[in-house]
C-alpha cells in the first residue's frame, strides 16, 4: 500500500501528538506536579510494561497470568463470534422473529450486565469459566445486533440484480449476500472484542487471583504505581494492536468498496 503525501503528513502529526502526550506525562512527574505515588513517569513504567509483553512471548519473569487473560479473551471472542453471528443471522433473516426480539435485544444490550457478576461468580466459582462466561455474555449482544441488522438490511436491489444476471442461489449467497454483510460484521467483531476484553478484566478485578484485572487491582491496593501503569499500558497496547489488525482485515475484505461507482 502506497501512502500519499497527505497521509504521510497525517501519520506524522498523529505520532507527534502521541509523543507530546508521553512528554507531558514525563514532565508532570519530572517537575513534581503530580506525586510519583500517583503517577510513575514513562521511563520507570516502560521496563514493567516490557516485562509483561515479553512474558507473553515466553520469558517467564512476571507471574499472575497476563497471558492467561489474553487466552481467555481469545477463546471468549471466538465463542462470541460463533454464537453471535448464528443468533443474529437466525433472528435477522426471519422478519417476524426480528420484529418480536429486536426491542428486547437492544434493551438488554444497553443494560449494565455487570450487575450479574455475583451470579456468575456464585455459579462458576473463581474459575476460568467464570471469566469466560461473563465475557461471552457481554460480548455476544453487539454481534447479535450487528448481524441482525446486517442480515435484514442487505439491499434487495443487489440480490435482484444478481438474480437477473443469472447468478445461481449459491453464488448469490457467497458473492453478494455475505460480502455485503462483511463491513457491519467486522465492526461488530471490533465492538464485541472490546466489550469482551472489558468484561473479562472486570470479572478478574471483582474476584480472583490471576489475570490483568487482578494485577491492576492488586498493584493499586499495594501502591505499586509503576507496576500498575505497566499493566495498564500493556493492556492498552494489546487492545489497540488487535483493533488495528481487525481494521486491516476489514479493509482487506471490503477492498471491493473502493470500486464503488460513485
Partner 1 sequence: MTVRVRISQLIVLAAFVAGWQLITYFKLVSRFILPGPYLVGVTFVEMLGAKGFAEIPRGIYPQLMITLGEIGGAIALGTAVALPLGFAIGMKRRVSDIYEPIVYLLYAIPGIVLYPVIYLVFGIGAPSKILYGAFLATWLITISTIAGLRQINPQYFRLAKSLKLSNMSAMFKVIVPAAAPSIISGFRLGLAHAIVGVIAGEIIASNTGLGYVIVYSSELLDLNLTYSVILLVLLIGFVLVEISRLIERRFLAHAA
Residues lying near partner 1 in the complex (CB under 8 A): 6, 10, 13-14, 17-18, 38-39, 96, 99-101, 103-104, 107, 110-119, 122-123, 190, 194, 197-198, 201-202, 205-206, 212-213, 216-217, 219-220, 223, 225, 228-229, 231-232, 235-236, 239-240, 243-244
Cβ proximity to partner 1: between 185 and 231 the closer is: 231
Cβ proximity to partner 1: between 14 and 43 the closer is: 14
Residues whose CB is less than 8 angstroms from the CB of residue 10 and which lie 6 or more positions away in sequence, other chains included: none
**Closest approach of partner 1 to the CB of residue 169, in Å:** 30
Cβ proximity to partner 1: between 172 and 254 the closer is: 254
CB atoms within 10 A of CB 228: 21
> At CB < 8 A and 24+ separation, what contacts does 49-53 make?
49/229, 49/230, 49/231, 49/233, 49/234, 49/237, 51/230, 52/230, 52/231, 52/234, 53/234, 53/237, 53/238
Using CA atoms, how far apart are residues 62 and 141, in angstroms rounded to an integer? 34
Cβ proximity to partner 1: between 79 and 173 the closer is: 79
Using CA atoms, how far apart are residues 145 and 258, in angstroms rounded to an integer? 26
Cβ proximity to partner 1: between 176 and 235 the closer is: 235
Cβ proximity to partner 1: between 74 and 161 the closer is: 74
**Closest approach of partner 1 to the CB of residue 14, in Å:** 6
Using CA atoms, how far apart are residues 18 and 147, in angstroms rounded to an integer? 35
Using CA atoms, how far apart are residues 96 and 195, in angstroms rounded to an integer? 29
Where helices occur in 94-224 by DSSP H, the ranges are 95-110, 117-124, 128-152, 156-164, 169-171, 178-206, 211-221
Cβ proximity to partner 1: between 60 and 110 the closer is: 110
**Closest approach of partner 1 to the CB of residue 254, in Å:** 16
**Closest approach of partner 1 to the CB of residue 13, in Å:** 5
**Closest approach of partner 1 to the CB of residue 259, in Å:** 22
**Closest approach of partner 1 to the CB of residue 99, in Å:** 5
CB atoms within 10 A of CB 44: 17
**Closest approach of partner 1 to the CB of residue 255, in Å:** 19
CB atoms within 10 A of CB 119: 12
Amino acid at each position: 500500500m502506497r501512502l500519499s503525501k497527505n497521509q504521510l503528513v497525517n501519520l506524522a502529526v498523529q505520532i507527534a501528538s502521541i509523543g507530546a502526550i508521553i512528554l507531558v506525562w514525563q514532565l508532570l512527574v519530572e517537575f513534581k506536579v503530580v506525586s510519583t505515588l500517583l503517577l510513575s513517569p514513562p521511563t520507570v513504567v516502560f521496563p514493567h510494561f516490557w516485562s509483561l509483553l515479553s512474558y507473553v512471548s515466553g520469558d517467564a519473569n512476571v507471574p499472575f497470568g497476563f497471558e492467561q487473560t489474553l487466552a481467555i479473551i481469545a477463546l471468549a471472542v471466538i465463542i462470541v463470534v460463533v454464537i453471535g453471528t448464528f443468533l443474529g443471522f437466525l433472528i435477522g433473516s426471519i422478519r417476524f422473529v426480528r420484529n418480536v426480539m429486536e426491542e428486547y435485544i437492544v434493551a438488554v444490550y444497553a443494560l449494565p450486565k455487570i450487575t450479574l457478576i455475583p451470579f456468575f461468580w456464585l455459579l462458576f466459582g473463581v474459575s476460568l469459566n467464570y471469566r469466560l462466561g461473563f465475557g461471552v455474555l457481554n460480548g455476544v449482544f453487539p454481534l447479535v445486533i450487528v448481524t441482525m441488522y446486517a442480515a435484514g438490511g442487505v439491499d434487495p436491489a443487489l440480490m435482484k440484480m444478481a438474480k437477473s444476471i443469472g447468478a445461481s442461489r449459491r453464488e448469490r449467497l457467497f458473492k453478494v449476500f455475505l460480502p455485503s454483510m462483511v463491513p457491519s460484521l467486522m465492526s461488530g467483531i471490533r465492538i464485541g472484542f472490546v466489550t469482551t476484553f472489558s468484561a473479562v478484566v472486570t470479572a478478574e478485578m471483582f474476584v480472583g487471583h490471576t489475570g490483568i484485572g487482578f494485577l491492576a487491582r492488586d498493584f493499586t491496593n499495594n501502591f505499586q504505581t509503576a507496576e500498575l501503569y505497566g499493566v495498564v499500558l500493556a493492556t492498552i497496547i494489546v487492545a489497540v494492536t488487535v483493533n488495528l489488525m481487525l481494521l486491516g482485515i476489514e479493509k482487506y475484505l471490503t477492498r471491493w468498496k473502493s470500486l464503488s461507482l460513485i
